[in-house]
Amino acid sequence: MKLKLILLSVLLLNAFILRASGTDTLKIFYNINKYELSSADKLKINNGIDSLSTGDTIRVLGYADYLGTEKPNLALSTTRAETIKSYIQSIKSDLVILTEGKGEVPASTARLATGEPVNRRVDIVFKHRLQPKTPIVVVPKPMPIEVKAKPVEVHRDTVRERPPQITATGATPADNKSFSEKINGLDKLDVGSSISLEELTFQPGRHFLNPEAVRYVNKLLKYLKNHPNIRFEILGHICCEVVKPDGQDFDTGEYTLSVNRAKFIYDYFIKSGISADRMTYKGLGHSKPKVFPELSEHDRYLNRRVEIMITGK
């Protein structure tokens, strides 16, 4: 009886709890001294605000890199933010939009003539309005529910519909294991099978690894050196749906980001003693995301990765 009273109290309390949806950030990047939105930028913004409703709040924060001088950079960052605000208001006028120009971001490395592309950007921070949480309904002895995945609808340039949290084609349940467990099973995979290594992640818009990913690359390198019979292909991936087949690499200016990520690993392996005869590389753009739809920055983080496919033994 006491337990039932406690359970009833929890259920009644739950009906009045307010929930805050997670805060997500969408980044829009620019060329030097530019603030206009491209069609690809508008598509990203459209997808980002599609699920928002009346009263939801958006913060639009504009930035510039260190090229130029302080006052013009502050004005440029503000113009970038205000341009996005105007575009969002033209689509959904019932949202609360707060803008701010943050000015230039100090140099994180040696100053270059090309500046720092990752700092020429606007951060669009989505924060859902607090809403009453739906009360929990306890149903005795629920029947099992069969959940069927939606079919994949493929458009010309990108995958537009895929069930959430589905792994890339060819990946195995080993993806849920630790990194060491996954790579230790590489020699047991059939030719044509692959393992998605979301631990090998990259900096946004660049083909360079995140610092925390370096140790995983070295673990993989050590394993491959100890198993010289394995032949493989390195498959590069990017986050975020794009209009073009591949994303833009801010370091090269070319739309070959996923290719460059795969080649980065390929070149590192060659310099570290892996024979080029054993491996190839390819970029897959955003055609096979690890997580879809991307609802948070962490989802996008997981999609900036490489995959190892066995091509021979």
Residues 6+ apart with CB under 8 A from 227: 186, 187
Domains of the chain are: 20-132 (3.30.1330.60), 164-312 (3.30.1330.60)
90 Cβ contact list (under 8 Å, min separation 6) = none
Environment class of 269 (CB within 10 Å of its CB; exposed 0-12, middle 13-18, buried 19+): buried
Quick: pLDDT tens for 88-129.
999 888 888 999 999 998 887 777 777 888 889 999 987 644
Q: What is the mean pLDDT of the chain?
A: 75
Identify the pLDDT of residue 80: 95
Size (the chain), residues? 313
Range among 13-17, 142-146, 179-183, 309-313 with highest mean pLDDT value: 309-313
Compute CA distances 276 → 1, 152, 199, 282, whole Å.
71, 35, 23, 14
Q: Which of 75-84, 168-177, 298-307 has the lowest mean pLDDT?
A: 168-177
How many Cβ atoms are within 10 Å of 140's Cβ, its own excluded?
A: 4
> Alpha-carbon distance 77 to 28, whole Å?
12
Question: Where residue 292 falls among pLDDT bands split at 50, 70, 90?
Answer: confident
Is the per-residue pLDDT at 86 higher than 90? yes
Average pLDDT of 57-72?
89
Of 307 and 48, the structure prediction assigns the larger pLDDT to: 307
Answer whether residue 264 shows pLDDT above 60: yes
pLDDT > 50? residue 69: yes
85 falls in which pLDDT band (50, 70, 90)? very high
Predicted confidence (pLDDT) at residue 81 exceeds the cutoff of 60: yes
Residue-wise pLDDT for 205-239, tens only, equals 888 888 888 889 999 999 999 999 999 999 998 88
Q: Is 60 helix (H, G, I), strand (E, B) or coil?
A: strand
| Per-residue pLDDT at 244 | 74
Q: What is the DSSP letter of 286?
A: T
The answer on pLDDT for 22 being more than 60 is no
- Region 18-23 average pLDDT: 39
Percent of the chain's residues with pLDDT above 90:
28
Tell me the per-residue pLDDT of 119-176, one tens digit each, with 9 for 90 and over.
899 999 876 444 443 343 333 343 343 333 333 332 222 322 232 232 333 333 333 4
What's the rounded mean pLDDT across residues 266-283?
A: 93
The reported pLDDT for the residue numbered 262 is 93
